[in-house]
Amino acid sequence: MKHVRIDVRDAAPAGASGALGAGLESHLPASVNAHSAATVTRETKSRRSWLTGGLRLVRNAAIAVAIMTLIPVSAVMLSGSRLSRVLAYNYTSKRAIAAAPMRAFTLSADLSITPMQAGLAFNALQESRKVVPGFPAIEPVSRPAAYWRTEKLAPGMFATAGPSLYSGPSSVGILEAVAKGFSPAEMNYLRALNASPIWHEY
């Protein structure tokens, strides 16, 4: 009588090699191995994306610097002489033309005044002083008295030419105010302003 053994197991499901313990991995959930592989893939892609983005940023910055340098250099090479003439006209010629009518009011040069004396006089006329380290300014013994610094305008004086840049009447609107006339107080102020000793320094 033949007995059928029920404890004999087929080795094939244990794996192609039939090695001991090979069948244990086959019983693990497939999602575990897939999750580990997906995590590694995402980290690798994240590093590559940051590296790619950084390289792209550096490349774009280099291109922008090259273009910003190339444009003015090309403009000077192609039409440098024309640009210089335009700039010279706008910044030099126009100012010279505007200053030409004022030359009729200039005084004759006094050759007895040295550049040092002119610099000291100009220094004495400065109201506010800017301290520059390493370049101490020569402090004048006395400063010319400026009438507009001590005498203030009374309310209502020079209504159409009020103070703008300093405490006296505005030089922008004073000529238009002449046509309307000045009050006795305004005329006294203008006379005292005209007689101020500070004009000797100028």
Whether the CB-CB separation of 157 and 189 falls below 8 Å is answered with: yes
Whether the CB-CB separation of 148 and 154 falls below 8 Å is answered with: no
pLDDT of residue 7: 55
Strand partners of residue 96? none
Name the token pair of 199: 């004009």
Q: Tens digit of pLDDT for each residue in 93-152? A: 788 888 888 888 888 888 899 999 888 888 888 876 777 888 887 888 877 778 888 888
Residues 81-103: what's their mean pLDDT?
78
Q: What length does the chain have?
A: 202
Q: Tens digit of pLDDT for each residue in 155-199? A: 889 888 888 777 888 888 888 888 888 999 999 999 998 888 878
Give the largest CA-CA distance in the chain.
Answer: 152
- Which one of 34-48, 61-75, 110-124 scores highest in mean pLDDT? 110-124
Residue type, 47: R
pLDDT of residue 35: 55
* Reported pTM: 0.40
pLDDT at 37 over 70: no
In 3D space, the residue among 28, 4, 27, 3 whose CA is nearest the CA of residue 14 turns out to be 27
CA distance 142 to 200: 14
DSSP 3-state assignment of 135? strand
